[in-house]
Structure 1
Amino acid sequence: MQINRRRFITSTAGLAAATSLSMPAWAKGGSLTHAKRGFGEVSGEDIRLAIGNHHFMTGGRSGHAVAVNGTVPGPLVRLREGQNVKLHVTNHLEEDSSIHWHGLLVPFQFDGVPGVSFPGIKPGETFTYEFPIRQSGTYWWHSHSGLQEQAGHYGPIVVESADPDPRYDRDYVVLLSEFTPIHPHEIMRKLKVGEHYFNRQMQTATDGEMSGEMRRMWGEMRMNPRDISDVTGTTYTYLINGHGPADDLQLEFQPGERVRLRVINGSAMTFFNVRIPGVPMTVIQADGQDVADVEVDEFQIGVAETYDVIVTPPAGSHALVAEAMDRSGMGVASLTSHKGHIAAPPALREPVTLSMTDMGMMDHSAHGGGGSMDHSMRDKSAVPDDVKVGPGVDMIAPMPMDRMDFPGLGLDTVKHRVLRYTDLKAKRMNPHRTVDREMEIHLTGNMERYMWSFDGKKFTSVTDDPIRFGFDERVRVKLVNDTMMAHPIHLHGHFFELVNGADHMNQPLKHTVVVQPGGTATFDLTANEPGDWAFHCHLLYHMHAGMMQVVTVRPFPAPGEA
């Protein structure tokens, strides 16, 4: 068979042209501006932000980024309690975009979730967010469009209190995140093909302390005891304020100063263990809300959480370490009183291995071996009738228990002080309200198929059936994690009170709660912000795969009304 060379060249050129038309400009090989590492600052009552395609490089890894005002992370938005602000956001991408003001109490139409509270920002358009600042504290902002957050579309928020805070002399934002040169949609594709694609710490037949019987049991359950993080240091460079470990980021102080560190987990998928070896930390805020002082040596911070701590480091250089929960890498900065001196970080600790408790089991021996244990974990008759037990649900925790006192995977065996939710107490008393109603929501998934959901229902299939709260209704919500992964669950537009053993008047306020594997977490919510609000797992690829819902807060209709 002979091929006409001219026809072949013509058809190939046509195919290339057609492919080019379907590709975004940044993918066609054109030059992009290099985004700066780190962030500037914007403030005042009239703020302008511009979203655009850029190139980003750190730690030997480089690739496409979505930057705001030309930096990754985007600029620190500094606001003041009591002011009114207008934020003009211009979208220079070739796709829709958005900004969600994570933790800020705003009218729902300015919450920034396309399809829930507004249509999104079209290419070339500017959208103006306008709202009063009703709070103070540490928060952050990020895209809620597609997977743009993974590509660099996020940044910090600091809201200064109307009253001066005398507790510290110096103030730093510590924004934790990750960078990968792999496009986020390609990461999603790889996770759908094989959920262990990025895991390089799986146990071998002879590795670790696990017995042969235990290995057989895990094998029968088709589960991996090292399945801690979906995306790991094999592709991520872990960042502090946009700087990888090789960038030698320095945070300077003078000996004797009280330094406030506003730690924000702005990552897409990574829980971090934060510590400054040899320097104790006093936790003063959680999710922007004041708590009674708690002194610790380390804390685990889930995706989207914030913790403010005060440290008084001695003279010298100290490693500020944000170690990924699965211990596949770390972000590092130097807290130093000697400019130019870099602190040596500690070595990575041993990988974390899941236990039977993480499977919602009190004691595997009580279940008579692997076969019956596997059966009990797949017994779907124990869940409420409103949980859809289809192919998207591959396990049910048979004995889920409250794990508010658990410090986080891998931190339950360390000898130093680690923060637990049970340590948190609101600094100011909450108004006393009795609970009007109780509800239970199951966190469900099928890890092999990379399907995630609430109550077995993907978000796309339940948009017409939201979670309904009456305005000012007081609801106790129990989250039951039927999966073997920790999930940071975030409710937009509200703060809820953790039911953590504290007196009900001092239950800590949060906007995000980590629900441990095989465990439960409970919060009390006063639904006093009317509108439609997103409610989702803040692991980006879990949300994208379906672990999201809409919460609607409306006055209940009077008897006889529709």
Structure 2
Amino acid sequence: MTPRRRDILRIGGAGALTACWPGWAAAVSAGVPVAPVSAGGTDIELRIAHQMLRIGGRETHAIGINGTVPGPLIRLREGQDVRLTVVNDLADEDTSIHWHGLLLPFQMDGVPGISFPGIRAGSRFTYEFPIRQSGTYWYHSHSGLQEQMGHYGPIVIDPAGADPIAHDREHVIVLSDHSPIHPHTIFQRLKQQGGYFNYQKQTLAGQLAGRDQTAAERRAWGKMRMDPTDISDVTGSTYTYLVNGRGPVGGWTALFRPGERVRLRFINASAMTIFNVRIPGLRMSVVATDGLPVRPVTVDEFQIANAETYDVIVAPVDDRAYGLVAEAIDRSGMAFATLTPRAGLLAAAPPLRRRPVVTMKDMGMDMSAMDPDMVDMSSMHMGMRDSRNAPGLPLGPGVQTISPMPADRTAEPGQGLADVGGKVLVYTDLVAADRNPDVRAPSRKLEIHLTGNMERYMWAFDGKKLNEVKDPIPFTAGERVRITLINDTMMNHPIHLHGHFFELVTGHGDHAPRKHTVNVQPGGMVTFDLTADAVGDWAFHCHMLYHMHAGMMQVVSVRPAKAA
């Protein structure tokens, strides 16, 4: 590790937030199911306000919920009705809460300008809706960049009957990223220089040591003005990575008894960070994704993109502490916690692994069948701007590249995980535990390109930002549509559709995994089938916060079917 990265772990990570944590995120968690925010759990008040936090000995501005970061755990039960009153105690700005992954009337979805006007400073808004599902979810602001400042919290919904996932104990694990720099300043710096926060660029010393690219490859990439180390827009150079609001050193601890089945509910509430999660010495059985059960898959590691949730079961039998490692995808830092049989017995954090570099496949060019010595990368780059691969897609400042050979990468590990050893979860491993509710063949197809220009920090769907689109994407209630997302950029894009679940087309037929958020790898594509079963206007966007803020968002409008 360079001194800079070492300091991030030693100093930046060591500081826990000094403001109050909610009870569920106590420094040592026994894993006892947490009571709802209020008695009965059907009438809940959440108060949004500015507060100061201390991380690594440095005070930083944040936005908390009921005085905590993360916010309170909202624990509900399938079949109940809930009232959630949000009070905006921010002095001079609107706020909102989006109930991520919950199926509800669109007026309760919480997206200003789409489903409601927002919550003015000094006012309140009451969300009311029935609980139609169970599982692990979360909530966050959809106003400006408040999510980056701490405006998020977990939701656990218990099933109406017996829980299909057997376990003896559970822990909720909220992963996030926090910076002392104001989010609008972060965004401004990204607009000025896309790689502003990348402190892991290739060096001459690395080349002489034989690391990363060859000299020829470096020259070719230089001609294309592309940086193969540009993995994350915002990195550990400014972020501290948190588990339940605590940094990786002296951080959060979860208790277990040897022989227990422990359910870990992972929520990636970060603004800009994809995490690679592992527990060295302990295998994990993935049992749910985005709140819905899947057939158990035993893995050594999984990648969790922004806004995804995964439930895993672990069954430690040894009387020892295990490190819970959530390494940032670019390996510029990690969130770290301890799973232990007793308080005070802590695991040691492992060193960061070598950061990955972007490949030709990440550029939408699968060169595996070609002789690399015969490839003219400069001419290939010209081919990446060939609009024949995307008829009608406008080429211009906001569309830097078009992938000439995009590939379905759902059977591949996430970026940087192909050679880590052990079993890594891939999307094609996921099989729904229950038969899909709608198994009709789609009646039409829709193709959407994820586009951008990293140098100018411009992001969009089909080359058009939200404010450049006149009409929403139209659907008719009840119709079945096959949607293919094509990533024409070199960055990951976790795409979230509000108000719906969709079925990934990964070869599992009527047991296709159902999700509300899916990561589209660089140069890759993802196909899913959607039943437009929720009338209203719904946000559809990348869950990288600054990508969405820059324009990678549109509106899906589901209209009632016309009477025959």
TM-score (norm 2): 0.91
Deviations 1:30-59 (A, max 9, x none): xxx963245555151000000000001223
- 2:214 corresponding residue in structure 1: 211
Distance between the aligned counterparts of 1:221 and 1:378, measured in 2? 12
Distance between the aligned counterparts of 2:349 and 2:204, measured in 1? 32
Instruction: Give runs of aligned pairs for residues 310-329 of structure 1, distance below 5 A.
Output: 310-313=313-316, 314-329=318-333
Q: Are residues 1:202 and 2:209 paired?
A: no
Q: 1:522 aligns with which of 505, 522, 527?
A: 527
State the structure with more CA Rg. Answer: 1
% of aligned pairs identical? Answer: 60
- 1:266 corresponding residue in structure 2: 269
- 1:22 corresponding residue in structure 2: none
Deviations 1:474-521 (A, max 9, x none): 00000000000110000000000001121x201000000000100100
Instruction: Give runs of aligned pairs for residues 67-466 of structure 1, distance below 5 A.
Output: 67-93=64-90, 94-165=92-163, 167-207=166-206, 208-313=211-316, 314-363=318-367, 365=371, 368-385=375-392, 387-430=393-436, 431-462=438-469, 464-466=470-472
Q: What is the identity, as a one-letter code, of the residue corresponding to 1:202?
A: K
**1:91, CA displacement in angstroms?**
0.2
**1:181, CA displacement in angstroms?**
0.7
Q: Secondary structure at the match of 2:332?
A: coil
Distance between the aligned counterparts of 1:451 and 1:290, measured in 2? 36
Deviations 1:99-143 (A, max 9, x none): 000000010000000000000000010100000000000000000
Q: Secondary structure at the match of 2:37?
A: strand
Select between 243-252 and 475-484 the one with higher mean Cα deviation. 243-252
Deviations 1:366-413 (A, max 9, x none): 77412211211222342121x222210011111001001111011111
- The structure-2 alpha-carbon separation of the partners of 1:362 and 1:343, relative to structure 1 and needing over 3 Å to count, comes to same
Q: Secondary structure at the match of 2:546?
A: helix
- 1:10 corresponding residue in structure 2: none
- 1:30 corresponding residue in structure 2: none
Q: Which runs of 5+ in 1 are unaligned?
A: 1-32
Q: What is the identity, as a one-letter code, of the residue corresponding to 2:52?
A: H
Q: Are residues 1:42 and 2:49 paired?
A: no
TM-score (norm 1): 0.91
Q: What is the identity, as a one-letter code, of the residue corresponding to 2:462?
A: D
- The structure-2 alpha-carbon separation of the partners of 1:55 and 1:185, relative to structure 1 and needing over 3 Å to count, comes to same
Q: 2:497 aligns with which of 491, 496, 505?
A: 491
- The structure-2 alpha-carbon separation of the partners of 1:189 and 1:115, relative to structure 1 and needing over 3 Å to count, comes to same
Q: Secondary structure at the match of 1:371?
A: helix
Distance between the aligned counterparts of 1:38 and 1:59, measured in 2? 20
Q: What is the identity, as a one-letter code, of the residue corresponding to 1:338?
A: R
Q: What is the identity, as a one-letter code, of the residue corresponding to 1:546?
A: G
Q: Secondary structure at the match of 1:472?
A: coil
Tell me, yes or no, if the aligned pair for 1:233 and 1:328 is still in contact at 8 Å.
yes
Distance between the aligned counterparts of 1:39 and 1:446, measured in 2? 43
Distance between the aligned counterparts of 1:281 and 1:57, measured in 2? 33
Q: Which 4+ stretches in 1 moved above 3 angstroms? A: 37-41, 364-368, 556-559
- The structure-2 alpha-carbon separation of the partners of 1:297 and 1:507, relative to structure 1 and needing over 3 Å to count, comes to same
Q: What is the identity, as a one-letter code, of the residue corresponding to 1:509?
A: R
Deviations 1:231-266 (A, max 9, x none): 000110100000111333110111111100000000
Q: What is the identity, as a one-letter code, of the residue corresponding to 1:413?
A: D
- 2:552 corresponding residue in structure 1: 547
**1:558, CA displacement in angstroms?**
6.5
Q: Secondary structure at the match of 2:264?
A: strand
Distance between the aligned counterparts of 1:536 and 1:130, measured in 2? 24
**1:338, CA displacement in angstroms?**
2.0
Q: Secondary structure at the match of 1:372?
A: helix
Tell me, yes or no, if the aligned pair for 2:21 and 2:245 is still in contact at 8 Å.
yes
**1:329, CA displacement in angstroms?**
0.5
Q: What is the identity, as a one-letter code, of the residue corresponding to 2:188?
A: R
Select between 161-170 and 173-182 the one with higher mean Cα deviation. 161-170
Q: What is the identity, as a one-letter code, of the residue corresponding to 2:494?
A: P
Distance between the aligned counterparts of 2:349 and 2:79, measured in 1? 41
Q: Secondary structure at the match of 1:468?
A: strand
Distance between the aligned counterparts of 1:540 and 1:186, measured in 2? 14
Tell me, yes or no, if the aligned pair for 2:385 and 2:395 is still in contact at 8 Å.
no
Tell me, yes or no, if the aligned pair for 2:478 and 2:561 is still in contact at 8 Å.
no
**1:213, CA displacement in angstroms?**
1.6
Q: What is the identity, as a one-letter code, of the residue corresponding to 1:249?
A: W
- 1:533 corresponding residue in structure 2: 538
Tell me, yes or no, if the aligned pair for 1:151 and 1:184 is still in contact at 8 Å.
yes
Tell me, yes or no, if the aligned pair for 1:80 and 1:133 is still in contact at 8 Å.
yes
Deviations 1:289-337 (A, max 9, x none): 0100100010000000000000011321100110001000011111000
Tell me, yes or no, if the aligned pair for 2:389 and 2:403 is still in contact at 8 Å.
no
Tell me, yes or no, if the aligned pair for 2:264 and 2:311 is still in contact at 8 Å.
yes
Select between 161-170 and 225-234 the one with higher mean Cα deviation. 161-170
- The structure-2 alpha-carbon separation of the partners of 1:532 and 1:39, relative to structure 1 and needing over 3 Å to count, comes to farther
Deviations 1:393-446 (A, max 9, x none): 011111001001111011111210100000000000113211110010000001
The CA RMSD measured in Å over matched residues stands at 1.5
Distance between the aligned counterparts of 2:446 and 2:230, measured in 1? 30
Q: What is the identity, as a one-letter code, of the residue corresponding to 2:475?
A: F
- 1:12 corresponding residue in structure 2: none
Distance between the aligned counterparts of 1:390 and 1:101, measured in 2? 36
Q: What is the identity, as a one-letter code, of the residue corresponding to 1:494?
A: H
Distance between the aligned counterparts of 2:121 and 2:291, measured in 1? 33
